[in-house]
Amino acid sequence: MTSEEEFNRARENESYRQPFLDSINLESEARFVHKVIYNSNQKYSSFMDENVPTIMRCKLRPLEIFGRVWLPSFRRADIYVFPIAFTEAIPNINSFLNNLIDHEGFHAKQLFFNPWLALGDGAMLELDAYWNQMISSEKRGLDDNWRQIIAGKCSRVIDPFAI
């Protein structure tokens, strides 16, 4: 099991982040994930707000055959973890695992069986992943404050113009 101590070491030492990610047991989502990759280039913005950097991102690995790109079923995805995941945005190891496994790992499972979902606007994918993250938060020992953060993200997906 990945410890708070290992997570804090990865926070403090960027060179330890990939080995830390490699050591994580992805539980039931492992069969849907090809690799978890630390990407120090924070170029992606979040799903709902281009001014907010994304913490993690699940990306389907397309297959190129004879110059054509295919999105075949039963292909494992990569999960990219960005520097902000090692800041106060993620308060502890359990919230990190809740994001990595219960949200991004869930996306990997969604795309494994239904790769065409990657072509949509993403709202339903996000809502399903947030719901899974919310359900899993209790088993990870996360408190109501963390669930409020997730609920707020759900609200922004449902009504992006809400205050």
Q: pLDDT tens for residues 71-119?
A: 777 889 999 999 999 999 899 999 999 999 999 999 999 999 988 777 7
Higher pLDDT, 64 or 81: 81
**Least reliable range by pLDDT among 15-24, 25-34, 38-47, 112-121:** 38-47
4-27 burial, b at 16+ Cβ within 10 Å, e below that, comes to eebbeebbeeeebbbebbeebebe
Higher pLDDT, 2 or 78: 78
Higher pLDDT, 149 or 14: 14
- Rounded Cα distance between 68 and 65, Å, is 5
Q: Is the pLDDT of residue 44 over 90?
A: no
Of the pLDDT bands very low, low, confident and very high (cuts 50, 70, 90), residue 2 is confident
- pLDDT of the residue at 50: 61
Given CA atoms 100, 146, 132, 93 in this order, what sign does their dihedral have? positive
pLDDT digits (tens, 9 = 90+) for 114-152: 887 777 767 888 889 999 999 999 999 999 998 998 888
- pLDDT of the residue at 52: 64
8 A C-beta contact, residue 46 and residue 30: no
Phi, psi of 101 (to 5 degrees): -85, -50
pTM: 0.87
